[in-house]
Chain A
Amino acid sequence: MSSAAMKVAQSHRTEPSAADAPPAKGSARDGAVARQAPDYSSYRVVAAKHPWRWVGTAVVALGVFAVAWSLASNPRWEWGVVAQWFTAQSVVKGLVETLKLTAISGILGFVLGFILALMRLSASPLLVSVSWTFSWIFRSTPLLVQMLLWYNLGYLYEKISLGLPFTDVRFFEVQTTTLISQFAAAVLGLTLNQAAYSAEIIRGGILSVDQGQLEAAAALGIPAWRRSTRIVLPQAMRAILPTAFNEIIGLVKGTSIVYVLAYSELFYTVQVIYNRTQQVLPLLLVATLWYVVITSVLSVFQYYIERHYSKGAVRNLPLTPLQKARKFFATHAAVPTRRNI
């Protein structure tokens, strides 16, 4: 808000009470004719004081400072070691693997989840029950078990082949252990698990769209596919996005579970290093800081994507933090010539 607008807003709040004002004569009935209210236009506006707000601010600031000080001054955090390993080649390589796993299983998971959600909402009882069963199974088994199961699929089925069922015709046959690498097992486990959760999120989003929207689209003769992509999904996205980003951020850290497959993503890499150097806490801190960085970047994406889909949902979009900052500096800057908001 500009300072001028602020003053106007405050002047409304700080109007003198009736007790302070000089007594006005005349009854309400003839008030319109004989207006006796004093003229306040020359008065100076004094903002309301909020002493307790300042006390609260001071207490919190002290707490924040104490935590920061202990992090900086306690030598056992070993920030030097953290800095040394933070951009080490092996750690960065692990980070890339983590990002790769997140991206692939995130995208595949949500695509499969979308299909499962549509199946669940279809009129066919078979599609509905298959989709329901999928979610039921994958939401009830621990991810760890799923991961180990996929990796050990070769124990259950030695070979995987494609052919005509109930005949000896085979187009293609391969050893399961060759097909399911650590990477494949990790992607398979994470994707199927993610699909089960995202199916419910997407379904919830679709259900949140008013039925009247579909009716209006159908009454206009808009074809079914267009109805979903142009009318329903953009509106469903508003309900889907916050939870979907929760899931993706969960997935970033969830990839750390593939350490059980000895797959060298970020967390496993860090473990290998601290088992060698015994600097457990600093190295866990290295991994944590990277997870924080990824989450922060994702949060920024989330903010702008949500903003994009809130088109039309609010009367006027609020300014982004960046726009607010720019506006602040434009109005408060020492050099008054730079007024490019």
Chain B
Amino acid sequence: MTATLTAPAATRGLVEITGVRKSFGAIEVLKGVSLTVEPGGVAVIVGPSGSGKSTLLRTINHLEKVDGGHITIDGKLVGYEARGDRLHELHEKEILKQRTEIGMVFQNFNLFPHLTALENVAEAPVVAHQPGKARRSKAEARRRGLELLDRVGLKDRADAYPRQLSGGQQQRVAIARALALDPKILLFDEPTSALDPELVNEVLDVIRELATSGTTLIIVTHEMGFARDVADTVVFMDQGQIVEQGSPQQIFSNPQEPRTRSFFSKVLEPAFNI
């Protein structure tokens, strides 16, 4: 896997992160991170907590503004517009438009509790402006919403409110909601960390299925077995930097950096450590 090499003319969902820096107060959480994810690729970011994984993920859809460096999607800058030799910050309306091409799934689901599962999924397609697409009618959004709920195995719970669903079911609704705008890229921020162990797999199965769909996936997770299974690039981050990246085979079985090795020796159960 050669995800780090620059890709030829990208079709759909090429993510290029270049020298991204971000500080919260005096603490620099991203210290010049560069990463390329191919269209349709699956990149899994692992690393100790506080290493900047989630922050990196949140900069990709501009939920977090970068202090330095830049991010492009299919060659187009995220959050900024280049005019002359300056980067002009985009207005919120434009940023919202860009975000419709990037779906995001949160650790705590963040479903809208006062809307049913179907209403959660069908909300954005009706009101969000998508570049080059007309907004959907309500009926059309509901029809598509039911399709997506069917895809995550929850068609029969369409009228349930999030609190009436289990954690795993809520996260599957959240995935359906993220898919509703047909994004090029899907970001997963520790999608199974808030789940009971027996509910983790139902969510991972849905993500596994997405991994073959041609959508670019960037996943932050602590599920190492899943990472090994689904990733074509594994990225190990520590202290705001990418320490090492490569195929799951390389990173899990033959890590080169001592920091990577010491991390995996703590988190990998012997069964996984072939």
Q: Which residues of A contact B128 (CB under 8 A)?
A: 220-223
For residue A235, which residues in chain B have a CB less than 8 angstroms away from its CB?
A: 112-114
Residues of A with C-beta under 8 A to B92: 224
Number of B interface residues at 8 Å Cβ cutoff, please give it: 34
Question: In residues 104-129 of chain B, which contact A (Cβ within 8 Å)?
Answer: 104, 106, 108, 110-116, 123-124, 127-129
Report which of A216, A219, A221, A315 forms a contact with B112, defined as CB distance below 8 A: A216
Indicate if the CB atoms of A215 and B63 lie closer than 8 Å: yes
Give the interface size class of chain A: 20 to 34
> Which residues of A line the B interface, CB within 8 A?
210, 212-213, 215-224, 226, 230-231, 234-235, 309, 311-316
Q: Given A219-B63, A221-B100: A313 and B113 within 8 A (CB)?
A: yes
Interface of A is mostly: helix
Q: Report the nearest A residue to B102, measured CB to CB.
A: A219
B24 to chain A, nearest CB (A): 15
**CB within 8 A of B114: which of A218, A223, A313?**
A313
B71 smallest CB distance to A (angstroms): 15
Among A212, A216, A220, A231, the one with the most B-chain Cβ atoms within 10 Å of its Cβ is A220
Beyond contacts A221-B99, A223-B129, A234-B114: 5 other A-B pairs, Cβ-Cβ < 8 A, are A219-B99, A219-B103, A221-B130, A222-B96, A222-B127
Is B76 part of the binding interface, using a Cβ–Cβ cutoff of 8 Å?
no
The answer to the question of B78 belonging to the interface, with a C-beta cut-off of 8 Å to chain A, is no
Task: Choose among B104, B114, B129, B161 the residue with the greatest number of A CB atoms under 10 Å from its CB.
Answer: B114
**Cβ of A313 and Cβ of B163 under 8 Å apart?**
yes
- Contact A230–B96 (Cβ < 8 Å): no
Q: Please report the C-alpha to C-alpha distance between residue A328 and residue B93 in the assembled complex, in whole angstroms.
A: 55
Complex: chain B residue closest to A220, CB-CB = B124
Is B138 interfacial (CB 8 A cutoff)?
Answer: no
B191 within 8 A of A: no
Bound-state CA distance A174–B8 (Å) is 74
Please give, as numbers and ranges, the residues of chain A lying within 8 Å of B163 by CB-CB distance: 312-315
Contacts of A218 in B (CB 8 A): 63, 96, 99
- In the assembled complex, B222 has its CB within 8 A of some CB on chain A: no
B113, A219: Cβ atoms under 8 Å?
Answer: no
